[in-house]
Amino acid sequence: MTQQNSSPSMKTAKEVEEFARRQDTKNRLLLASPAILIITLFAAGPLLIVVLYSFLTAGDYGNVKWIFSTDGWFSVFMQRDIFDDTLQIADAHVSIFWRSIKLSLLTTVLTAAFGIPTAYFIATRPLSQRNLWLFLITVPFWTNLLVRTIAVMELIRGEGVINNVLRWAHIIDDPIQMMFTDFAIAFGMTYVYLPLMVLPVYASIEKLDFRLVEAAYDLYANRWKCFWRVILPIVKPGMIAGSILVFVPSLGAYITPRVLGGGKNLMFGNLIELQFGQGRNWPLGAALSISLMVLVMVALLYYVKVSGGDDNNEHR
């Protein structure tokens, strides 16, 4: 304080500040380094390997040969006819893509149809009961996915619970074939991914200010208008989050279509697995994986754009 005007002490103060700032930056980098390391090693690294593999030649017994090739990418969409070698669209792949998208969309719609009323129900319970309901919703999550899928199988197979009950009640005479159909896959995935829809929707409904509902009624809205114009737009972010959380893993689902779809109703995940297993075509598997990722990203971008754009025409 007494040396306020002397330059040496001023300089020191500045230097201390500078040193502290540098130290701060250094510390931040140091603190972030485990995260950076993990992201590099376990996220970016494997992804790069997959990209690399997709441009190599398939080895004879799986694995890859280090020879550059676009065959993997070529076979994602195209195939040569076995007999006359003409180029064709790989319709087997296309139908699997299409089934994956169709079933994932169906799963998203079904989880929304069941999940939104469930979330609304939970969010409108007294505070003391809500945690119990949320707990019950998440209980299946603690069980192994394979076990849960087999449980679904137990429900829908020919000698399963549903068919037995229906036969016992004389509603049907012969068991309904549900196993190994698209229905079975959608049913199984809906069951498996339901909590992923319920939780984010619940979170957004819980935050909804019910006085807004009163305000809507006060301003002459009927129930339907109130839901459509006030509740839905406010709850929409939660529904978008839930839809993404359901759609993305559905598109890449592997166990559920494998168990419930049997061998013939393949989905994207099974197709990829096939290339790395029996197919012994790793570059194709890698190219398919990246195609799936791109598909998901495009779908997400489109979704975000559509749902974001809505806001602007809300009220012209």
Partner 1 sequence: MNSNKPEDSVAIDVQSVTKIFKGETEVLALDDVSVQVRENEFFTLLGPSGCGKTTLLRLIAGFEHPTDGRIKLHGSDISLLPPNKRPVNTVFQNYALFPHMTVAGNIEFGLEMMGQAKAERSATVDRMLALVQMEELKNRRITEISGGQQQRVALARALAPHPKVLLLDEPLSALDLKLRKEMQIELKRLQHETGITFVFVTHDQEEALTMSDRVAVMSAGKILQVGSPRDIYDHPTDRFVANFIGESNFLNAELTKVSKGKGMIKLASGAELDASLPSDAPAVGPVSILIRPEHSQLTKRSSKAPLSGSIDNIVYFGTDTHFHITLETSEAFTVRTQNKPGFEGAFQIGDQVSLTIEPDAVQVLKD
Q: What share of the chain is helix, strand, coil (3-state, %, to 5)?
A: 75, 5, 20
Taking the CA atoms of residue 14, residue 18, residue 20 and residue 26 in that order, the dihedral angle to the nearest 10 degrees is 180
Q: Which residues bind partner 1 (CB under 8 A)?
A: 209, 211-212, 214-222, 225, 229-230, 233-234, 311, 314-315
Q: What is the torsional sign of CA 171, 177, 183, 186? A: positive
Nearer to partner 1, 173 or 209 (CB): 209
d(CA 20, CA 287): 49
Q: Are 137 and 122 in contact (CB under 8 A)?
A: yes
**Closest CB 219 distance from partner 1, rounded Å:** 4
**Closest CB 303 distance from partner 1, rounded Å:** 18
Nearer to partner 1, 51 or 213 (CB): 213
Nearer to partner 1, 236 or 280 (CB): 236
**Closest CB 132 distance from partner 1, rounded Å:** 18
Nearer to partner 1, 80 or 305 (CB): 305
d(CA 104, CA 238): 18
**Closest CB 230 distance from partner 1, rounded Å:** 6
Q: Around Cβ 134, how many Cβ atoms within 10 Å?
A: 18
**Closest CB 316 distance from partner 1, rounded Å:** 9
Nearer to partner 1, 66 or 220 (CB): 220
Nearer to partner 1, 45 or 233 (CB): 233
d(CA 204, CA 10): 54
Sort residue 262 into left (φ over 0), alpha (ψ -120 to 50) or beta. Answer: left
The single residue listed with the structure tokens 């701060």 is 24
**Closest CB 120 distance from partner 1, rounded Å:** 18
